[in-house]
Each structure stands twice: as structure tokens, then as C-alpha cells.
Structure 1
């Protein structure tokens, strides 16, 4: 892949990454809870899931999932169930005054990096639209006169980098919201609002089709 071609593809991948979706809402929520830096570190889990999905697509299995009603349904409903679970769990989570969890060094996270990475991973791996992205869009960006594996590799690396950037944008916006929420009531409203977003996302995912 030449640098000029990469310059054409990178902005498109950036736009795809910036689109609102379950993972970016997760980054926003983590940004509110524990700050932008820790929210971005959690994106490692998301990108691990995307690497798995890209490998699946590169091996041609993505086309099977997209063309098979059964396997598409399996992936879709696992994703729906997980998003619904996250939504209910967030809705019911206890309201905590943020000032009680701050110190001079910054925010004390209630959960560790691994837990947030795991959450990002399962949100990403259960989204069949990601399979559609890597199966339907990536191949259209390939130059078939050039070696395909390396092109797919560099597109994958670029997409993972744009995911970090997109997560940072959402986490920063979450951090700004966090400054406005200091009371227990404010946190309760936030948790219910974000829980509602995840539940709605599960509903949107439930309507996903192979077309």
C-alpha cells in the first residue's frame, strides 16, 4: 500500500471509528467514571476483538457469517444479550459522589484496567456490524494488483489507531460531563441515562440484518 493510497483510506477509517456506537458510548462512560487516560487504555480490549474479527474476515469466514442466517443470528443475539446486560447493570449501579473517589493524583478507579478491557472486548466482539465492516468495506479499499495480505494488515493497524483516537474524543467529552456531576443524585441520573443508551443499543443491534 502506497502512502498516497493510505492518505486516502485513513480519513475514511477515522470517520467510521468516530461514528456513535456501543464501544464509543462505553469509552464515554469510562471517561466519566475514571478519566480519559484509563478509558483509552481499555480500548486495547476493543482492538483485540477487532483484530479477531479482521482475522476472521481475512480468512474468508466473515463471508460465511454474513451469508449464513444461523451464524449471523448467533453473533447478533450474543451481542444483544451482552449490551442489554451492561445496560441493566449500569442502570442499577449504586450512585456514588465523585468527590469521594478523587485524590491529589487524580481519580481512583473502582475497577481495574483488565475489567474495562474485558468489557470493551465483549461489546466489540458481539457486534456483527463489525464483521460487515471488515467483510464488505475493507475489500472495496483493496488494490487487487498489489499483495492483499499487507494491505489488509495496514488497514487493520490504521483502523485500530483511529479507534484509540475516537475513544479519546468520546472519553474527553465524558470527562467534561463528569465535571458537572458531583452529587449522588447526579450520578444516579447518569447511570440511568447511560444504562438506557446501552439498552437502546441492544435494541438497534437486534434489528441488524445481513443486508
Structure 2
């Protein structure tokens, strides 16, 4: 891929990465809980999932999933159920003041591994990601040049953009954190974020392959 084409493609990929969605909602919440660095570490999970989905798409299996009503539905409803589960879990989670968390010597209830796993499961069960890699990425290729190196460059650029997007959303979460210190504030936060995940599950449930 030549530099001119990459300079046009990279901003487009950044816009895709910055688009609101379950993983970026998670980055906001993680930014509130553990700060931007912890949220970026957690986003490793989504990028592992995206790397797998890009490989699947490059092998042609993504087109099979997109074209198959059954397999597209399987992936979609797994995502719906998982997002709904996260939404309910977040809504019902204990409201602990963030100032109390900062002073506590108790290890965090959710480890980095658990956050990485959560981001991975959200990303891997989102059929829209497969649609992006199967339908949009090929349109960014220059067919007069070898395809595989271009796909690799696009994939690496997209993953970098996802890390950057996670950081941006996490920073916004950290800013929100400054205004939430009390037990009541955390309770409202958990309900608000839980509602976002439930809404995301509803939107995913209503989505189609088109």
C-alpha cells in the first residue's frame, strides 16, 4: 500500500474506531474504574478478537458467515445475550464510591484479565465487526497491487486506531469520574452504563446483514 492511499485510509479507520459501540462504552466505564492505562490494557481483548475476525475474513470465512442467515444469527444472538448480561450485571453491581476505591487496600474485584476477557467477548460476538472486515476493508484495497500486504497494513492500522479510541473514551470516563464520588453517584453511574449496554443489545438484536 502506497503512502498516499494509506493517508486517505487511516483517518477513515480512525472514524470507524471512534464510532460509539459496546467496546467503547466499556472503555468509558473502565476509564472511570481503573483509569486510561487500565482501559487501554483491557482493550487488548477487543484487538485480539478483531485480529481473529480479520484473519477469518481474509480466509473467506467472513463472507460465509455474512451470507449465511443461520451463522450470522448465531453470532448476533450470542452478542445480544452477552451485552444484555453485562447490562444487567452493571445495573445491579454494588455502588462503591470512587474515593472509597482509591483508599481501599483490597484488590479490585475485576482483574485486568477479566476486563480483557470482557472486551474480547464483546468484540468477538459482534457480527457488525465481521461485516466491516468483509464488506468495507476490501473496498480500501488497490487491486493492482498484492492484496495480502495491504490487508495486513490496514489491519495493523485499524488495531492501532482501536487502542487510540479506547484511550480517548477512557480519558472521557476519567473526566466523568471527577464528578462521581458518592455512593449515590456510583449507583446512578452503574444504572446509566447498564442501560447503555442493554440498549446496545437491543440495537444489535434489531440489526440485519444489510
Establish whether TM, by shorter chain, passes 0.5: yes
TM-score calculated relative to the size of structure 2: 0.97
In the TM superposition, residue 20 of structure 1 has moved relative to its aligned partner by 0.3
Map 1:82-93; keep pairs closer than 5 Å: 82-93=82-93
Q: CA deviation at 1:103?
A: 4.8
Counterpart-to-counterpart distance in 2, 1:3 and 1:61: 29
CA RMSD, Structure 1 to Structure 2 (Å): 1.4
Q: Distance in 1 between matches of 2:108 and 2:164?
A: 21
* Partner secondary structure for residue 193 of structure 1: helix
In 2: Cα distance, 1:54 partner to 1:161 partner: 14
Gaps of 5+ in 1: none
Check the 8 A contact 1:33/1:109 in 2, yes or no. Answer: no
Classify the secondary structure of the residue corresponding to 1:155.
helix
After TM superposition, the runs of 4+ consecutive aligned structure 1 residues lying more than 4 A away are none
Deviation at 1:28, TM superposition (A): 0.3
Cα pair 1:34 1:109 within 8 Å, conserved: no
Q: How does 1:192-203 map to 2 (within 5 A)?
A: 192-203=191-202
Shift of 1:109: 4.0
Show structure 2 runs of 5+ residues with no match. none
Q: Between Structure 1 and Structure 2, how many residues are aligned?
A: 209
1:138-195, Cα deviation, whole Å (9 max, x unpaired): 0000111111111101100000000011111110000000110000000000000000
TM-score normalised to structure 1 length: 0.96
**Structure 1 residue 81, shift from structure 2 partner:** 0.3
Q: Over residues 102-154 of structure 1, what are the superposed CA-to-partner deviations in whole Å (9 max), with x where a residue is unaligned?
A: 159xxx74321111000000000010000000001000001111111111011
